[in-house]
Structure 1
């Protein structure tokens, strides 16, 4: 009888430990591109992000050593007036995708820290609320290719 209880306790302990080591599903990022004008003009980062978990996902920012400043923005047109404004966060529901695309949401990369050319790869770290950071590699492209 004692042997059965001992096995049951060890079994429950093993189950509890394995449940604690399960990690949340990592967001999936595809088609990461950085549209870059010549000179020191700002660049725009576009990508698709999919929330592969069962929990809401909130993107709160990004950073890159290739730029001194990175912000999330959204471009809108109202009464034939184009405008761009800063965005604090972007929520992605479980199982859903969100597109950062021209004329919409994008990352704004400002003040280059190093020269960049088409075809270069730029490492970007995406920041989430209550989730580990996610490194993503963006490919530098010409604005006309968007």
Structure 2
């Protein structure tokens, strides 16, 4: 039994060593949460740099400040502004992608607490493979973007 446990532990350690630590290879900057009055959704914008050797994919986000967070994309079709949910957002290795107005963004749904301009909100981006990377979003007014 002792030999089995040793083999099991060695196997688990080698598996962990072979798993890339992708979250440590992502750099998030300029994270802003555009807050709208009342119970209206907020929008999250930021830059995401992938310093790793493999593509990284954001598949969701979470925070205690809102009931849910969704990945969205704004677009124009037939002269009409539209927005729809997306399931993933990929960042190739060595590249920067931006979540920005009129493009990809996070939608913060149903505020769970009162927020003011200048507040900070902790957000965890969920990566493919169920890894998470934490960052802080600064709450800004709609006029700031």
Which TM-score band (shorter chain)?
Answer: 0.7 to 0.9
Instruction: Identify the residue that residue 39 of structure 1 maps to in structure 2.
Output: 38
Matches for 1:13-92 after TM superposition, within 5 Å: 20=17, 23-24=21-22, 25-92=24-91
Q: Which has the larger radius of gyration?
A: 1
TM-score, scaled relative to structure 2: 0.84
Question: 1:87 Cα shift?
Answer: 0.5
Match in the other structure for 1:142: 141
Q: What is the match of residue 3 of structure 1?
A: none
Matched pairs, number = 128
Distance in 1 of aligned mates of 2:97 and 2:67 = 26
Q: Runs of 5+ in structure 1 lacking a partner?
A: 1-16
Q: CA deviation at 1:137?
A: 0.3
Partner of 1:132: 131
- Cα distance between partner residues in 1 of 2:128 and 2:109: 23
Instruction: Name structure 2 gaps, 5 residues minimum.
Output: 1-13
Structure 1 stretches of 4+ with a deviation exceeding 3 A read 20-25
Q: What is the DSSP-based 3-state SS (H/G/I as helix, E as strand, rest coil) of the residue aligned with 2:68?
A: strand
Tell me the TM-score normalized by structure 1: 0.83
